[in-house]
């Protein structure tokens, strides 16, 4: 035994997972190797493989951990359209942390195996949760389209940084997004909801 305190298995595992999360989110699945992740975590590549089995399995654990911190979609269908709309367009557009899961997906989309892992995780963490939440029939179809819109706003706002999105008044964008989400959520408009003018006139 040496004097240097030996990290226990749990903290080593957590350190590797944290390093992998940062690396995969920044560079995508193909853009990073186990060796680089190991170096960031201060361990050997062999240790990473002993703990996680492979780069693919490590990626799958990162996806699980990231998607489990699901914060965008709440649990109340009555306020879902408004809440998701507001969450999507507020906060700084250059703040990558809030769209970690999206960037992880987007930057790994060139690797077929990574896409399979992501597809499965999105299905379990987002699609099913949302479909269970929505009242009425065809909830799966409506949930899928809500997720499409969420992904699209994140893409145009955070990745492309479209000036038509980043330069617009977030309250105006949120109002229209809420109006667009409402037929997908399937709840009629709550009394007192403020909507942009030309939506109220419909």
Choice from 11, 95, 169, 192 touching a second copy (CB under 8 A): 169
Contact between 165 and a second copy by CB under 8 A: the answer reads yes
Q: What are phi and psi of 164, to 5 degrees?
A: -65, -25
Choice from 16, 20, 84, 106 touching a second copy (CB under 8 A): 106
Stretch that binds a second copy, among 15-23, 36-44, 67-75, 188-196 (CB under 8 A): 188-196
DSSP of 31-55: T--HHHHHHHHTS-HHHHHHHHSSH
Residues 6 or more apart from 143 whose CB is under 8 A from it?
127, 130, 131, 133, 134
Stretch that binds a second copy, among 7-15, 33-41, 49-57, 190-198 (CB under 8 A): 190-198
Choice from 118, 132, 192, 193 touching a second copy (CB under 8 A): 118
Phi-psi region of 169 (alpha: psi -120 to 50; beta: other; left: phi over 0): beta
Choice from 33, 160, 190, 194 touching a second copy (CB under 8 A): 160
What is the nearest approach in angstroms of a second copy to the Cβ of residue 195? 8
- Rounded to whole angstroms, the Cα distance separating 103 from 88 reads 14
Contact between 47 and a second copy by CB under 8 A: the answer reads no
E strands in the chain: none
Chain residues in the site for a second copy (CB under 8 A): 28, 105-107, 109-110, 115, 118-119, 122-123, 127, 131, 136-138, 140-145, 147-153, 155-157, 159-165, 168-169, 172-173, 176-177, 179-184, 186, 188-189, 195-199, 201-202
């Amino acid at each position: 035994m040496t004097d240097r305190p030996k990290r226990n298995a749990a903290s080593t595992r957590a350190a590797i997972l944290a390093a992998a999360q940062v690396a995969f989110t920044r560079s995508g699945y193909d853009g990073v190797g186990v060796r680089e992740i190991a170096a960031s975590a201060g361990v050997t590549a062999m240790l990473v493989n002993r703990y996680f089995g492979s780069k693919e399995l490590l990626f799958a654990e990162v996806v699980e951990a990231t998607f489990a911190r699901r914060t965008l979609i709440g649990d109340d269908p009555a306020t879902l359209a408004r809440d998701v709309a507001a969450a999507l367009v507020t906060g700084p557009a250059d703040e990558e942390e809030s769209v970690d899961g999206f960037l992880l997906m987007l930057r790994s989309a060139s690797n077929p195996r990574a896409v399979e892992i992501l597809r499965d995780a999105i299905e379990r963490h987002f699609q099913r949760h949302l479909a269970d939440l929505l009242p009425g029939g065809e909830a799966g179809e409506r949930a899928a389209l809500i997720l499409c819109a969420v992904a699209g706003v994140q893409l145009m706002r955070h990745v492309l940084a479209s000036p038509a999105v980043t330069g617009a008044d977030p309250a105006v964008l949120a109002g229209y997004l809420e109006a667009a989400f409402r037929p997908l959520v399937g709840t009629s408009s709550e009394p007192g909801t403020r909507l942009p003018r030309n939506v109220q006139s419909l």
